[in-house]
A and B are shown apart, each in its own frame.
Chain A
C-alpha cells in the first residue's frame, strides 16, 4: 500500500508549493491545490505579472480554506476607513498596512507592482523587514475595501485590528536623530584628527612659519569641536543636568551615569579651550570627539531591537476593528470602541465577541481557548451572558452589549496596575548604582592630586586635577554593557529566541522560579491527536467502518467530531448515503448510514463495558448495536518536555498554572510537585499568583502563549511568549521564543549568566585602564597626544574584549 503511494508523482501547486490532493484544478499544464491559488495565477497572468513565479518557485501564499465573503464590508464605512488612513484628501489617500504574509522577493515584487493590478493605486512600497506596505491611491477610482479585498485574494491579507488605528512614528525619529548625531560627530572626529596630525608628529614650534600654521590648526579644531560639544554631547549634558537637579530637589538619590560622563566632557572641553586661547598649545579636541563618538555608538547598539517583532501587544491587536451594530433599527458598522451599553451587535461564525453581552438571538458555541486556555467550547443559550474574547463557532448571533469594550471582563485585566507602570529595566539601574561611587572616588583622587601638587609644584595643580577628571571617564565601562548585551541578543536571535531589549538578559540572571502555562506552552498548540482504541475482538477499524464514521462526523459541527473526521484519512473519500441524522446536545450523535445505525458519543449515550479512566475526551462507537471501541483525544506535549522540566527542576522552582481542566494532572505530577500544579486558573488568578511570589522575594519567569497569560507575562520579572510563528500574535512580553527551540530554554538561561559575567570581566579591564590613565594624570604627564591615543584605545579594546569573549562562549556552548 505505502509503496504504491510513493511511486505516484507528487503534484505540487504552481502557486504556493503545497501538495495538490488531485489533478482536478489545472490551467495551462500547471496544477493548483485550490481555486484560490488558481485565481491568483489568473490575475497575475492577466496583468502580465508572471515574473512573480520566475523570481522564486512556488512563491505564493496558500489560499486554502480562506473565505473573505463579507469579512471586509465594514471597510465601506467612511469613518472607520478614516481612522486607518495616514493622509487623506479628495484625490489622494495614503495608508500603511501590516502584511504578515510577505516572505520572499517575489512578494516584494508583486506588492510593489500592485498599482499595475489595481487601477487607482498610485504607488506601493513594501518595507520587507517590518512587513509594512505603504500605499497611496486615488479614492475616486478605487475604494479602500477593494484594495484590501484584492490584497486578501492574492494571499497578502493585511492585518486590520483595533491596534491599526493607533499610529506611532516616534521610534523612527528617535533613531534618525541618533544616526545624525553619530554622523556629525564622526565627521568632526575624523577632521579634528587630521588637523591634529602635525601635532602628533611634533610640529617644530621654534620655526616661526610652522607656529603660524599651528595657530590655524588650533582654531580650526576649535570650530570643529563646537558641534561635538553642543550637538553630539547634548544628551549627556542634559541628562547630567536633570539628574543633578533631581538630587538637589531630593526627588531621587540616584546618580545618573551621565554625571561622570558629563564631568569628563566638560573638563575636556574647558581645558582644551584654555589651552587653545591662553597657552596657544594643542587641546584635547580629538579625545573629546572620539569619546562622544564611542558613547553615541554604544547608545545606538543599545537601541537595536527586532523592529519587525512586536512586544507591546495588548487585547487591541486581538480585537476586530469594527463590528456590525443595530442601533435604532439601522444596521451599520462601528468601531468596537464606540459600542455602548444596550447596542445590539451581530456576530457570525468565527467572529470574536468584542465585549460582555447577553444573547438575544441564536445559540452560542464559544471557543475561549485563546483567552482561558480551556479547550472545550462553551455552549450558551438565549438570555445568558457571554464574556468578551471568545470566538463564536456556528450560527449567527445577536447580542445586547452590557459594557463598553474597555470595561469588559477580559479587558479589565489590562486595567490592572501591572499594565499601567513600566517595567523597571536594570541596565540603567546597574550603571547608575555604580556611577555614584565612581564620581566620588574620581573627585577624591583629583582633589588629593591637586593638594599634593599645590605643595610641591603649584604649576601642575590645575593640570593634574583636570587630567584626572578627563581620563577617569567611565566611557569604556558604559560601552562594555551595551556591546556584550547586544552580542548576546544577536546570538539568542540566531537561535530564535528574541528578547525585547538588553535589560531582559540581565533580568534572566536573577530568575529563580519558572512558571509554565500548559495549553500551547508545554503542549503544542492545535495539535490534538485522535487515536482509536478498539475492544478485544478488533484493535483496528475496517475501511468500511472508517467510511461510516467519517460520514457521520461530517454531519456535525462539534469540535470533537471535526477532529475525529480529520483524523480518518481515506483516499478519494465520498460520503455514504444518509437516511437519518440526529445530534444530541452534550451527549453524542447518531445516524443511519447505508442501512447501518451508527452512534458516537459519551459513555451512557453509547452503552459501554469500558470502565477505567473515562474522561470527556473519550468518544465511544457503536455500530448496529455492537460496541466497537472508542476514540480518545489527547494533546501532544512538546518534544523533550520531560527532560526540559527535570533539567530545569535542578536549579529552579517550577510551577504550572493552567486555565484548562486537570485531566493531565497525573501526567504532569511526575515532573512537578503536586502543590505546584494549579488548574482552572483565570487570567487574573495567574497574575495574582505571580505577584504573590514576587512579594516573597522571588524573581519569576513566566512562559505562556495566549491572552490568558497576558497579565502574568506582564507581572512577571521576565515574560516569555512561546510562539509557533513569531510574526503572528503573541501577547505583550519581554521575549518571544520560537516553539521549536523550547528545548534550549535552559541553555539560554545559562548563557545569560555567562554574558553578565563577561560584562563584569570587562568592567575590571576598564578599571585597570582607568588606573593606568589616572597614574599618568596625577603625575601631570598626560599630554594631548597621549590622551588621544590612550582614550580611544582603551574603549576599543574593552569593546573587542567583550564582544570577542561573548562569541567565544557562544561557540563553546554551541549556541
Chain B
C-alpha cells in the first residue's frame, strides 16, 4: 500500500507543474488583457498575395 504515498507525491508533482505554468502566464502578462485575444483568434492568417509587393519595395 506504500504505492499510495508514491501516487500522492506524483499527483502533487503534476499539479505543481500546472501551478508553475499559471505563475508563468500571470507574470508574462497574459491576464492583463483578457478580451483582445478573443477577437484576435478569429482573424485568418496572412494572405500570401501581399508578399511580392513588399519585396518590390525592398528592391527600390
Interface residues of A (CB under 8 A from B): 47-49, 51, 55, 105, 108-109, 112, 116, 119, 126-130, 172, 175-176, 179-180, 183-184, 187, 190-191, 194-195, 209, 213, 216-217, 220
B55 within 8 A of A: no
Check A127/B36 contact, CB under 8 A, given A105-B42, A184-B19, A191-B12. yes
Check A119/B39 contact, CB under 8 A, given A179-B31, A216-B5. no
- For the complex, give the distance between the alpha carbons of A179 and B32 in Å: 10
Among all A-B residue pairs, the 10 with the closest Cβ atoms: A48-B50, A128-B36, A127-B33, A105-B39, A129-B35, A187-B19, A183-B22, A108-B39, A180-B26, A179-B26
Check A119/B57 contact, CB under 8 A, given A108-B39, A209-B1. yes
- For the complex, give the distance between the alpha carbons of A610 and B31 in Å: 68
Docked-complex contact A183 and B35, CB < 8 angstroms: no
Among B5, B22, B35, B50, point to the contact of A128 (Cβ < 8 A). B35
User: Nearest-CB distance from B39 to chain A (Å)?
Assistant: 5
Docked-complex contact A180 and B23, CB < 8 angstroms: yes
Binary per-residue interface labels of chain B (49-60) against chain A in the complex, 1 for a CB within 8 Å, 0 otherwise: 110011001000
Docked-complex contact B15 and A187, CB < 8 angstroms: yes
User: Nearest-CB distance from B30 to chain A (Å)?
Assistant: 10
Which chain B residues lie closer than 8 Å to A180 at the CB level?
23, 26-27
Which chain A residues lie closer than 8 Å to B12 at the CB level?
191, 220
User: Nearest-CB distance from B22 to chain A (Å)?
Assistant: 5
Interface residues of B (CB under 8 A from A): 1, 4-5, 8, 11-12, 15, 19, 22-23, 26-27, 29, 31-33, 35-36, 39-40, 42-44, 47, 49-50, 53-54, 57
Which chain B residues lie closer than 8 Å to A195 at the CB level?
8
Docked-complex contact A128 and B39, CB < 8 angstroms: yes
User: Nearest-CB distance from A389 to chain B (Å)?
Assistant: 35
User: Nearest-CB distance from A301 to chain B (Å)?
Assistant: 15
Check A109/B43 contact, CB under 8 A, given A48-B49, A183-B26. yes
- For the complex, give the distance between the alpha carbons of A119 and B36 in Å: 24
- For the complex, give the distance between the alpha carbons of A48 and B36 in Å: 23
Docked-complex contact B33 and A130, CB < 8 angstroms: yes
- For the complex, give the distance between the alpha carbons of A130 and B36 in Å: 10
Docked-complex contact A129 and B50, CB < 8 angstroms: no
- For the complex, give the distance between the alpha carbons of A190 and B19 in Å: 12
Which chain A residues lie closer than 8 Å to B11 at the CB level?
194
Docked-complex contact A129 and B36, CB < 8 angstroms: yes
- For the complex, give the distance between the alpha carbons of A109 and B39 in Å: 9
User: Nearest-CB distance from B12 to chain A (Å)?
Assistant: 6
User: Nearest-CB distance from B23 to chain A (Å)?
Assistant: 6
Known A51-B44, A183-B23, A190-B15; further 12 A-B contacts with Cβ < 8 A: A48-B49, A55-B43, A108-B40, A109-B43, A112-B40, A126-B36, A172-B32, A175-B31, A176-B29, A180-B23, A187-B19, A220-B8
Docked-complex contact A183 and B19, CB < 8 angstroms: yes
- For the complex, give the distance between the alpha carbons of A176 and B54 in Å: 40
Docked-complex contact A213 and B4, CB < 8 angstroms: yes
User: Nearest-CB distance from A220 to chain B (Å)?
Assistant: 7
User: Nearest-CB distance from B28 to chain A (Å)?
Assistant: 10
Which chain A residues lie closer than 8 Å to B39 at the CB level?
105, 108, 128
Which chain A residues lie closer than 8 Å to B40 at the CB level?
108, 112
Docked-complex contact A48 and B53, CB < 8 angstroms: yes
Which chain B residues lie closer than 8 Å to A128 at the CB level?
33, 35-36, 39
* Inter-chain contact total with CB atoms closer than 8 Å: 71
- For the complex, give the distance between the alpha carbons of A47 and B49 in Å: 10
Which chain A residues lie closer than 8 Å to B32 at the CB level?
127, 172, 175-176
- For the complex, give the distance between the alpha carbons of A801 and B2 in Å: 45
Which chain B residues lie closer than 8 Å to A184 at the CB level?
19, 23
List 6 A-B pairs, Cβ < 8 Å: A51-B44, A175-B32, A176-B32, A180-B23, A183-B26, A216-B5
Among B4, B31, B35, B50, point to the contact of A47 (Cβ < 8 A). B50
Among B19, B26, B50, point to the contact of A116 (Cβ < 8 A). B50
Which chain B residues lie closer than 8 Å to A190 at the CB level?
15
Which chain B residues lie closer than 8 Å to A194 at the CB level?
11
- For the complex, give the distance between the alpha carbons of A278 and B60 in Å: 82
- For the complex, give the distance between the alpha carbons of A262 and B23 in Å: 26
User: Nearest-CB distance from B42 to chain A (Å)?
Assistant: 7
User: Nearest-CB distance from B14 to chain A (Å)?
Assistant: 11
- For the complex, give the distance between the alpha carbons of A209 and B3 in Å: 13
- For the complex, give the distance between the alpha carbons of A112 and B53 in Å: 19
Which chain A residues lie closer than 8 Å to B33 at the CB level?
127-130
Most A C-beta atoms less than 10 A away, residue of B5, B11, B33, B57: B33
Which chain A residues lie closer than 8 Å to B47 at the CB level?
48, 51
User: Nearest-CB distance from B8 to chain A (Å)?
Assistant: 7
Q: Which residue of A lies closest to B32 (CB)?
A: A172
User: Nearest-CB distance from B47 to chain A (Å)?
Assistant: 6
Which chain B residues lie closer than 8 Å to A51 at the CB level?
43-44, 47
User: Nearest-CB distance from A565 to chain B (Å)?
Assistant: 42
- For the complex, give the distance between the alpha carbons of A187 and B13 in Å: 12
- For the complex, give the distance between the alpha carbons of A213 and B4 in Å: 9
Which chain A residues lie closer than 8 Å to B4 at the CB level?
213
- For the complex, give the distance between the alpha carbons of A282 and B52 in Å: 71
User: Nearest-CB distance from A348 to chain B (Å)?
Assistant: 35
Which chain B residues lie closer than 8 Å to A119 at the CB level?
57
Which chain B residues lie closer than 8 Å to A130 at the CB level?
33
User: Nearest-CB distance from A295 to chain B (Å)?
Assistant: 19
Which chain B residues lie closer than 8 Å to A179 at the CB level?
26, 31
User: Nearest-CB distance from B58 to chain A (Å)?
Assistant: 9
Which chain A residues lie closer than 8 Å to B27 at the CB level?
176, 180
User: Nearest-CB distance from A303 to chain B (Å)?
Assistant: 13
Q: Which residue of A lies closest to B49 (CB)?
A: A48
- For the complex, give the distance between the alpha carbons of A220 and B11 in Å: 13
Q: Which residue of B lies closest to A188 (CB)?
A: B19
Which chain B residues lie closer than 8 Å to A191 at the CB level?
12, 15
- For the complex, give the distance between the alpha carbons of A184 and B43 in Å: 34
Which chain A residues lie closer than 8 Å to B49 at the CB level?
48
Q: Which residue of A lies closest to B57 (CB)?
A: A119
User: Nearest-CB distance from A533 to chain B (Å)?
Assistant: 52
- For the complex, give the distance between the alpha carbons of A195 and B29 in Å: 32
Docked-complex contact A176 and B35, CB < 8 angstroms: no
Which chain A residues lie closer than 8 Å to B42 at the CB level?
105
- For the complex, give the distance between the alpha carbons of A51 and B45 in Å: 11
- For the complex, give the distance between the alpha carbons of A147 and B22 in Å: 36
User: Nearest-CB distance from A221 to chain B (Å)?
Assistant: 11
- For the complex, give the distance between the alpha carbons of A443 and B4 in Å: 43
- For the complex, give the distance between the alpha carbons of A220 and B8 in Å: 9
- For the complex, give the distance between the alpha carbons of A187 and B14 in Å: 12
User: Nearest-CB distance from B9 to chain A (Å)?
Assistant: 8
Q: Which residue of A lies closest to B53 (CB)?
A: A48
Docked-complex contact A176 and B26, CB < 8 angstroms: yes
- For the complex, give the distance between the alpha carbons of A55 and B40 in Å: 12
- For the complex, give the distance between the alpha carbons of A194 and B53 in Å: 60
Which chain B residues lie closer than 8 Å to A213 at the CB level?
1, 4-5
- For the complex, give the distance between the alpha carbons of A202 and B39 in Å: 51
Check A108/B36 contact, CB under 8 A, given A48-B49, A180-B23. yes
Q: Which residue of A lies closest to B48 (CB)?
A: A48
Q: Which residue of A lies closest to B22 (CB)?
A: A183
Which chain A residues lie closer than 8 Å to B50 at the CB level?
47-49, 116
